[in-house]
Amino acid sequence: MLLAALIALALPTGPVAARATLPRQVEALVSAGIREQRYPGAVVVMGRGNRTLLRRSYGSQTYGPNAPRMRVSTLFDLASLTKVVATTPAAMLLLQDGALELDQPVSRYLPEFAARGKEGVTLRHLATHVSGLKAYESFTVVEKGRRPDETTDAALLRRYADLPLSYPTGTKMVYSCLNMQTLAGLLQRVAGEDTETLLRRRLWGPLGMRDTTYRPTPAQVRRAAPTAATTDAKPVRGVIHDPLARYHTAERTCPGNAGLFSTGPDLERFVRMMLVDGRRGRRVILRPETARLAFTISTPPAIASPRSVGWAVYTKPPYAETADGDQAHTSIGHTGYTGTSIWMDHAAGAYVIFLTNRVYPSPATKGGEGAGIEGIRANLVKALKDALAAEPKP
């Protein structure tokens, strides 16, 4: 009894205990996934406000006995996080410039899109995945119809413009890579420059996101977590994993659904900017009303899976506390097929960045986008919430 009492007195309590416990909880959660071969390694970044509470790497880049260790500086194929770290902020910049309007028809900017029932589809419909476009397309189908003098990105955009609606616009949410590829093509036509150039000049550069790119340098490729292996089991690094984005390529224009590479520290700079309504210190990157579009439900009330401009909006545990619709307490997030995710809570100023290369060949990588890791994602958010519950709000 005396020993137990002495140990209890020696243990930290309150906020200090919460901060001390968090790293151990995260390590246990992430390490369990590595042992079960759900991914070979991971990087986790957690914080609140301008405080980084955890920024660590775990495991290795592959399952081999001499595999390189995962590092905080490891570059990841973000897959669908591209939609919210590149395509959506590019749209926000052009919206606040007055070059775009969310509720204008897509055909105002892409006249060829006004075909086969798509005349009423707006930019907001694309950005919230209620357009009526189907979820995905086979690049082999597009390639068969590509004209001799046509680039692959142009062939994709022409294909999407010619597609009929798969459901009436605005009646349900169907998460679609076609929405974001169409939006990206529209943005680049309006901007007169590719997405990487625009964002490096106005977002990634000012935020210091030096490792965020569609076109990794040879040095960055050497730091990249592989997402595939060759037939002789050699890791494939720095090559876009998503077939549609890889077919599109980022040489001329940038695909809107996938294809971006980045690191945990770079993404932390991005989410901190979003959580303080578009600022970095005294510098305004996005106007407050523009940044808040990410935290505001923008789908019709009848839509069962609410979305903001670009992001999934969480209204239920574990990612949100309640379903009362209080916009001031909106939690948002996004995932990527390769095993990446971002979660943000606007009211708490809290965030979790979880980066893995779960698609690297292993027995546990079968299934959809959340296969094998959705429970870990949820428990990481819960661990941060529990730690923050003992702390005063910033």
- With contact defined as beta carbons under 8 Å apart, do 337 and 360 qualify? no
> Pairing relation of β-strands 76-77 and 51-59?
unpaired
Minimal CA–CA distance to 106: which of 34, 179, 12, 48? 179
**Other Cβ atoms closer than 10 A to 84:** 26
**With bands split at pLDDT 50, 70 and 90, how would you rate the model's confidence at 350?**
very high
CA distances from 20 to 86, 153, 300, 370 (A): 35, 49, 43, 29
Q: Decide if pLDDT at 332 tops 90.
A: yes
Q: Decide if pLDDT at 284 tops 90.
A: yes
Q: What is the pLDDT of residue 316?
A: 86
Q: Decide if pLDDT at 3 tops 50.
A: no
DSSP state letter for 67: P
Estimate to the nearest angstrom the gap between the alpha carbon of 289 and the chain centroid. Answer: 21
Minimal CA–CA distance to 385: which of 354, 353, 350? 350
User: Residue 259 in 3-state DSSP?
Assistant: coil
- Sheet containing 312-314, strands listed edge to edge, beginning at the edge strand earlier in sequence: 51-59, 41-48, 350-356, 340-345, 331-336, 312-314
> pLDDT tens, 218-258?
999 999 999 999 999 899 999 999 999 999 999 889 999 99
CA distances from 15 to 93, 378, 388 (A): 38, 22, 8
Q: Residue 374, exposed/middle/buried by CB under 10 A (0-12, 13-18, 19+)?
A: middle
Minimal CA–CA distance to 189: which of 148, 161, 217? 161
**With bands split at pLDDT 50, 70 and 90, how would you rate the model's confidence at 9?**
very low
CATH architecture entry for 10-389:
3-Layer(aba) Sandwich (3.40)
Instruction: Tell me the average pLDDT of the chain.
Output: 91
What's the mean pLDDT in 139-165? 97
What proportion of the chain, given as a percentage, has pLDDT over 70?
Answer: 90
Task: Average the pLDDT over each of 10-24, 97-111, 139-153, 372-386 and give the range with the smallest value.
Answer: 10-24
Measured between alpha carbons, how far is 37 from 92 in angstroms, rounded to an integer? 38
Q: Decide if pLDDT at 147 tops 60.
A: yes
Domain layout of the chain by residue ranges: 10-389
Q: What is the pLDDT of residue 7?
A: 31
Minimal CA–CA distance to 343: which of 369, 301, 374, 364? 374
Measured between alpha carbons, how far is 361 from 357 in angstroms, rounded to an integer? 9
Q: Decide if pLDDT at 368 tops 70.
A: no
Q: pLDDT higher for 242 or 8?
A: 242
> pLDDT tens, 33-83?
999 999 999 999 999 999 999 999 999 999 988 999 999 999 999 999 999
- With contact defined as beta carbons under 8 Å apart, do 358 and 76 qualify? no
> pLDDT tens, 164-182?
999 999 999 999 999 999 9
Radius of gyration of the chain (CA): 21
pTM: 0.93
Measured between alpha carbons, how far is 212 from 138 in angstroms, rounded to an integer? 27
Torsion of the alpha carbons at 80, 81, 84 and 87, rounded to the nearest 10: -60
Write b or e for each residue in 63-83: b if 16 or more Cβ atoms lie within 10 A of its Cβ, otherwise e.
Answer: beeebbebeeebbbbbbbbbb
**With bands split at pLDDT 50, 70 and 90, how would you rate the model's confidence at 328?**
very low
List the structure tokens of 117.
């029932």
- With contact defined as beta carbons under 8 Å apart, do 254 and 86 qualify? yes
Q: What is the pLDDT of residue 366?
A: 58
Q: What is the pLDDT of residue 145?
A: 97
Q: Which long-range contacts does 294-300 make (Cβ < 8 Å, 24+ apart)? A: 294/84, 294/88, 294/92, 294/332, 295/327, 295/330, 295/332, 295/346, 296/327, 296/330, 297/325, 297/327, 297/330, 298/124, 298/127, 298/128, 299/128, 299/130, 299/173, 300/130, 300/170
User: Residue 282 in 3-state DSSP?
Assistant: coil
List the structure tokens of 371.
């296969």
**With bands split at pLDDT 50, 70 and 90, how would you rate the model's confidence at 17?**
low
